[in-house]
Structure 1
């Protein structure tokens, strides 16, 4: 059934072609593929026989009617198979979406576990730093006590030595103490932050953060706390600390969930009226699809109506527009095409006639003299509405049709014209 040959395509005619057009097409095809003219082609005989079978069926109205009915059954079966394939694809897509949801949840669980482990490690590190700081403070207090005892013993032994020692200590104190200045300017992180950022809470917070980082680093390495080596290095150390903080990887934006893809089968009348149609998605939800300024093959994206997973941006629904085939009309972008059969005399002399429009009204058409088959006449603003507040055209395709019965006078005239004899 699915391998049924299309006799209309074999002869190169349309399905509504008349008997005379079919006969003329058969003669042309038969001459071009005749085995006598294609001796080097081993398939010429088969093609010639196939053309003969096609003409044998289409020239007989009864056989042609049976063939058309059989062809319609085959097409209906193919459409049914296509629908079944689409349903299968929808089920597979739903399964993939389900698996994607499971994978996303697993990834989120792993991220949460990693965050918890990181927080635990940070807490452990902070506790170690605090303990090291307390030990260093205790050692410093003990050293100061021992130094005081030695100073007391030295004072008892010699007052002169004590005076010299006190004088030397007084002269050295301002140079090595934690409050040492250069040119009357403080060298601590607070002053560096103040010079860079001004007197603001942000500057004080930056300096305090720098000081804590320095203390923690020195305690972890077993180095006693000491002031900065030079006041000129304080801004550099502050910037280094800020850069280290800023170089951390920024938090990633939440990824987007997969989109849902669907088709919307609409009629030409729906596109003309720009209605909204309802479709059912694979998950059973119904959504409305607007038809403003769309045509065959356009994709309408419904933002934020797709799959929804925790921790992910909600996906979209991408709907592809499919236009139903009509008997007399076909959609070509935003144009609507139709066929107007005309007689030989009207093709030669021209005429005024009418053609049915897509909305059912009769549209006047002027056929120019000496018109050929497949010549088109465009009637503007009778096509589909587009997105630019305009409309396509109604494209009328002319098709010259001979009379049902041969006319002897016309036949004689054509014979005389072909043989070059004129009266």
Structure 2
């Protein structure tokens, strides 16, 4: 069950829209996955915060939630029913009546054929029957059952409220560069419906997105579930993600390492020229600022580590190596 959006954002129910926005921005900065790269639950907490703000930043949805018409996920729910001890004298005018003065079972009859709907007014839309979702909740509450559960009907028969639609979770594989640069991916839902899903730039492995009302349908008018799409980022032969930073191993020739050179290094935006100083050792890392993954808090960096690739063996190379060996001073492993 989703938590109260006011508690998630950390504001009072009387908070203004500006206060909610300020509190959301402050908390979003602290909970953003980029600021918590080692926290496996950071993505879920950030998604919960976004969902809470989506509800409270919409004036209509906020009023519906405050009145108890929808829950913290924005799904319809039964907020209450006047007439059951709602402040009116028992047995007096209006006792057992809905908000418009009609009785709760006025438009329903019970018999051998089950529930029969009549034409009277009820606590739903003026002039029409109450939503089936509300009606099943009323009966479930009367019989001591829960939503989607079974209870004993006051009419002597077992009553089973039809369940709400189930949420579904599916995983899509996204190529590394498509996730890093942003793309649109076609997703086929369990219902067979195809949806074009926008993958934001900088999306990382395990990112979860929610598609409202795209899950399994409920029975007899009950709410439809949601679909959750989990992104599985496929590995790249060169780039490796490290939070919002990228790491890359760059092969260089022996002569480039000894003499120094200008070499081309790939980035998400294309190749850049990297200057190697003379006598560059294998394993030396160069930092390219802002060439990592895009993020709300600013793009990460690209760390390029050079790896010396020896040429094919030759007499000249062996002779050069023997000269180096004779002239070498000290042991490169001293201090380990």
Q: Which has the larger radius of gyration?
A: 1
TM-score clears 0.5: no
Q: Please state which structure has a larger fraction of its residues in strand.
A: 2
TM-score, with structure 1 as normaliser: 0.36
> What TM-score does the superposition give when structure 2 sets the normalisation length?
0.44
Higher share of residues assigned helix: 1
